[in-house]
């Protein structure tokens, strides 16, 4: 992606030819009426990528918001995920069908394995390949996979994941994983780029934000995009939803990108270390 040319409508071509928006809304913990309203605000603001999951418990709300928005289904890119407790070949096929029913759609754009569950992930991937071959999902991928998990999968299956969704921020700058994915035509998608707000008062972030007249959240999101990492910041606040999308009118200079890269301290906002999956 050319950072000078990207905008809210920009997409990236995945390894099976599907075009995916580079920016969207993460919906973790967006439940009930407030979650429904947040999704409507995001769609109103121009978001066209919505990221949900079986375990989030909000697929019905996501589907209802899409329907009530009046935006044609084909203009919205829906991602959902199969959780660990539903993994395995048959269980995954069942979980996928349940997600379709909750979302009230006829297909999913991107279906992910939520985490590399030990002893289950390979059979789960086999189920995803079946769903892809049957046209029930347009593309498939994984989440929270390390290079070890990816290497294992590439050794067993010919279909390469289109996406690896992982926690990714300047404070968890997983450069080796990013390089590995790039070398295997896997697009990295980052969650928790905003660190759940924990690092927003970092002085380096504040100083760079002042330089570009942007908030620290906008700097974090823009940093991710300039590393060619899809961004899905989560917010239930209307002003923040609009602010998060206002990151296409500036470019972080190379020296400031390097400064942000150097903030890495292996900080995980959610505490989930994928290396724990053997």
Which residue, among 113, 117, 170, has the nearest Cα to 137 in the 3D structure?
Answer: 113
Q: Total structural domains in the chain?
A: 1
Write the CB contacts of 193 (distance below 8 Å, at least 6 apart in sequence): 168, 169, 220, 221, 223, 224, 231, 233
Determine the average pLDDT of the residues in 131-160. 97
Is 133 a member of any domain?
yes
Torsions phi, psi of 124, nearest 5? Answer: -65, -40
Is 8 a member of any domain?
no
Is 276 a member of any domain?
no
Separation between Cα atoms, residue 166 and residue 141, nearest integer Å: 11
Is 275 a member of any domain?
no
Is 272 a member of any domain?
no
- Burial 200-213, CB ≥16 within 10 A → b, else e: bebebbeebbeebe
pTM for the whole structure: 0.97
CA angle (193, 136, 15) in 5-degree steps = 55
The pLDDT assigned to 35 comes to 96
Separation between Cα atoms, residue 31 and residue 108, nearest integer Å: 20
Three-state helix/strand/coil letters over 231-262: ECCECCCHHHHHHHHCCCCCCCCHHHHHHHHC
The CATH number of residue 77's host domain is 3.20.20.100
Q: How far is CA 237 from the centre of its chain?
A: 19
Separation between Cα atoms, residue 149 and residue 153, nearest integer Å: 6
The pLDDT assigned to 271 comes to 73
Please give the residue range of the domain that contains residue 116: 20-266
Confidence of residue 187 (pLDDT cuts 50, 70, 90): very high
* H/E run at residue 89: helix 89-103
Digit-coded pLDDT (tens) for 93-140: 999 999 999 999 999 999 999 999 889 999 999 999 999 999 999 999
The C-alpha torsion from 268 through 15 and 44 to 232, rounded to 10°, is: 0
Is 10 a member of any domain?
no
Query: How would you class 183 by CB atoms within 10 Å of its CB: exposed for 0-12, middle for 13-18, buried for 19 or more?
Result: exposed
Digit-coded pLDDT (tens) for 213-250: 999 999 999 999 999 999 999 999 999 999 999 999 99
Where are any strands of DSSP class E within 69-169?
77-82, 108-113, 137-143, 163-167
Is 104 a member of any domain?
yes
Catalytic residue positions, numbered: 56
Is 7 a member of any domain?
no
């Amino acid at each position: 992606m050319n950072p000078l040319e990207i905008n809210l409508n920009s997409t990236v071509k995945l390894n099976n030819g599907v075009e995916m928006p580079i920016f969207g809304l993460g919906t973790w913990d967006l439940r009930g009426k407030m979650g429904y309203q947040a999704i409507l605000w995001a769609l109103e603001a121009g978001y066209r990528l919505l990221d949900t999951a079986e375990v989030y418990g909000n697929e019905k709300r996501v589907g209802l918001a899409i329907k009530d928005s009046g935006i044609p289904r084909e203009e919205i890119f829906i991602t959902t995920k199969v959780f660990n407790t539903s993994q395995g070949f048959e269980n995954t096929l069942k979980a996928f069908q349940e997600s379709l029913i909750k979302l009230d759609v006829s297909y999913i754009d991107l279906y992910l394995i939520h985490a590399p569950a030990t002893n289950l992930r390979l059979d789960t991937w086999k189920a995803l390949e079946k769903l892809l071959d049957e046209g029930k999902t347009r593309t498939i991928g994984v989440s929270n996979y390390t290079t070890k998990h990816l290497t294992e999968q590439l050794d067993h299956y010919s279909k390469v994941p289109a996406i690896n969704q992982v926690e990714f921020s300047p404070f968890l700058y997983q450069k080796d994983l990013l390089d590995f994915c790039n070398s295997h035509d896997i697009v990295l998608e980052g969650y928790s780029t905003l660190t759940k707000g924990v690092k927003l008062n970092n002085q380096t972030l504040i100083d760079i934000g002042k330089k570009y007249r942007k908030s620290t959240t906008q700097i974090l999101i823009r940093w991710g995009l300039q590393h060619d990492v899809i961004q899905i910041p989560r917010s239930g606040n209307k002003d923040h939803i609009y602010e998060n999308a206002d990151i296409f009118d500036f470019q972080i200079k190379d020296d400031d990108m390097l400064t942000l890269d150097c903030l890495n301290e292996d900080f995980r906002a959610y505490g989930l270390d994928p290396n724990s999956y053997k």
